[in-house]
């Protein structure tokens, strides 16, 4: 047969036995004769021709010797056929599971470039499976646990939160870090606090560098609807962690409190199998680890002693707030947020001191070389 005739271009799940039947016909050889020449039973030859028995490497070599067709051709033909069968079976499974994909905020994920745009339900599911790195969405329980901070949200979506967390893990894979060093993180706390005063893009870039040196990948992941996600801490291994932040509310005081909250988890809480969800106080109950991370963030951003003195003064005008912020080396927005949280001023007051923070002002992926 010509080389062109032996070039297999599959477009359907056709068993290689069909090709074997054609070759035998062209050579004028019967299945009985092939069996006699190869030392096979006629039953085996019939099974191969009808696709009931696979073509093994030994079978392919004998076909090459007897028929003159390369063994590689038969092996490729068999591999393509088995792959086509597997894909057909997989397609049936995906069709049964496709409706599960509707639980995820697919369109929002498309806008963020996490998955490809498509209206086909099966293709959507396939894209989600690749995004999560699983063969079934029922395997999501196998994903690594995270400690995360979320706010109050009406009609929250666990699927949206899982997608947001996975996006952070994928970002972290691209970030090179040193070995996890909690002492280095602890020593950098004053620097982190001072960076709240800097322009968001430059501040976040510097934070990313410092964390990478200390074995932590900083992942900036835009918030998804119905997640209420502010931040999360993942442990990739004993030597690498991920600190993931969103821009929910797009306010600097919220962003930096979430950052220090997650740093508190990094410094004080070892990796564990549980997922600690930060929600509003009445929903979360008394979780000592979350309370500890809250207190760590609050006290690190604004030390208790100077805060007490400032509160006792009772002067919360813009000039006084700016002076106090300068004294403790934080942006005035941090002080305003604390005063509002403690009910010392209304949420409508001192709005001029608020600083907008969204991820368009900072790099969403910060790839840092360990020093």
Tens digits of residue pLDDT in 190-209 = 999 999 999 988 999 999 99
User: Any idea which residue has 């007490």 for tokens?
Assistant: 308
Strands (E), the chain: 146-150, 216-220, 229-237, 240-245, 277-278
What pLDDT does residue 143 have? 55
What pLDDT does residue 271 have? 63
Per-position DSSP letters for 205-226, written without gaps between them: HHHHHHHHHTTEEEEE-PPPTT
- Cα–Cα distance for residue pair 133/144, rounded to 1 Å: 12
**Average of per-residue pLDDT across 15-36:** 94
Q: What is the DSSP letter of 155?
A: S
- Cα–Cα distance for residue pair 108/223, rounded to 1 Å: 10
User: Any idea which residue has 């004769």 for tokens?
Assistant: 33
Q: Is the pLDDT reported for residue 83 higher than 50?
A: yes
**Average of per-residue pLDDT across 174-178:** 94
Q: Give the contacts of 346 (CB within 8 A, at least 6 positions apart).
A: 340
Q: Is the pLDDT reported for residue 316 higher than 80?
A: yes
What pLDDT does residue 3 have? 44
Lowest mean pLDDT among 143-147, 151-155, 234-238, 313-317: 143-147
- CA 359 distance to own-chain centroid: 17
Looking at per-residue pLDDT, the higher value among 175 and 139 belongs to: 175
- Go through the domains of the chain in sequence order and give each one's CATH number: 16-97 (1.10.260.40), 104-132 (no CATH), 143-298 (no CATH)
- In whole numbers, what is the pLDDT of the chain averaged over residues? 85
Lowest mean pLDDT among 9-18, 73-82, 147-156, 336-345: 147-156
pLDDT band at 25; cut points 50, 70, 90: very high
Q: Is the pLDDT reported for residue 125 higher than 80?
A: yes
What pLDDT does residue 368 have? 40
Tens digits of residue pLDDT in 246-295 = 888 888 899 999 999 999 999 988 664 333 343 343 444 457 888 899 99
Output the six-digit token pair for 178: 């040193």
What pLDDT does residue 314 have? 93
What pLDDT does residue 93 have? 83
What pLDDT does residue 180 have? 92
What pLDDT does residue 312 have? 94
Length of the chain as a residue count? 371
Q: Give the contacts of 173 (CB within 8 A, at least 6 positions apart).
A: none
What pLDDT does residue 359 have? 67
* First and final C-alpha spacing in the chain: 63
Q: Is 1 helix (H, G, I), strand (E, B) or coil?
A: coil
What pLDDT does residue 278 have? 39
Phi, psi of 136 (to 5 degrees): -160, 140
- Cα–Cα distance for residue pair 112/109, rounded to 1 Å: 5
């Amino acid at each position: 047969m010509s080389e062109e005739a032996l070039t297999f271009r599959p477009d359907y799940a056709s068993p290689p036995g069909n090709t074997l039947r054609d070759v035998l016909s062209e050579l004028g050889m019967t299945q009985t004769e092939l069996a006699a020449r190869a030392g096979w039973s006629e039953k085996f030859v019939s099974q191969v021709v009808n696709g009931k028995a696979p073509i093994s490497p030994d079978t392919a070599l004998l076909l090459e010797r007897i028929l003159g067709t390369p063994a590689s051709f038969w092996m490729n033909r068999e591999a393509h056929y088995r792959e086509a069968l597997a894909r057909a079976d997989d397609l049936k499974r995906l069709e049964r599971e496709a409706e599960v994909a509707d639980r995820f905020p697919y369109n929002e994920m498309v806008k963020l470039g996490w998955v490809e745009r498509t209206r086909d339900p099966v293709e959507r599911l396939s894209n989600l499976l690749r995004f999560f790195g699983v063969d079934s969405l029922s395997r999501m329980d196998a994903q690594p646990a995270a400690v995360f901070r979320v706010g109050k949200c009406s009609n929250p979506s666990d699927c949206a939160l899982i997608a947001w967390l996975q996006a952070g893990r994928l970002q972290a894979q691209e970030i090179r870090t040193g070995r996890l060093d909690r002492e280095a993180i602890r020593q950098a706390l004053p620097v982190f606090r001072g960076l709240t005063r800097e322009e968001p893009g430059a501040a976040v870039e510097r934070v990313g560098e410092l964390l990478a040196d200390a074995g932590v990948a900083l992942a900036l992941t835009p918030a998804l609807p119905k997640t209420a996600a502010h931040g999360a801490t993942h442990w990739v291994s004993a030597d690498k962690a991920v600190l993931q932040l969103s821009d929910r509310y797009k306010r600097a005081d919220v962003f930096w409190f979430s950052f220090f909250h997650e740093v508190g988890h990094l410094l004080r809480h070892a990796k564990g199998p549980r997922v600690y969800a930060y929600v509003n106080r009445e929903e979360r109950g008394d979780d000592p680890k979350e309370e500890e991370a809250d207190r760590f963030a609050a006290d690190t951003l604004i030390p208790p002693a100077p805060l007490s003195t400032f509160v006792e003064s009772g002067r919360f005008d813009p000039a006084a707030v700016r002076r106090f912020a300068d004294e403790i080396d934080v942006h005035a927005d941090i002080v305003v947020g604390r005063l509002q949280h403690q009910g010392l001023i209304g949420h409508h007051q001192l709005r001029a001191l608020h600083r907008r923070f969204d991820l368009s002002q900072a790099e969403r992926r910060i790839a840092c070389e360990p020093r």
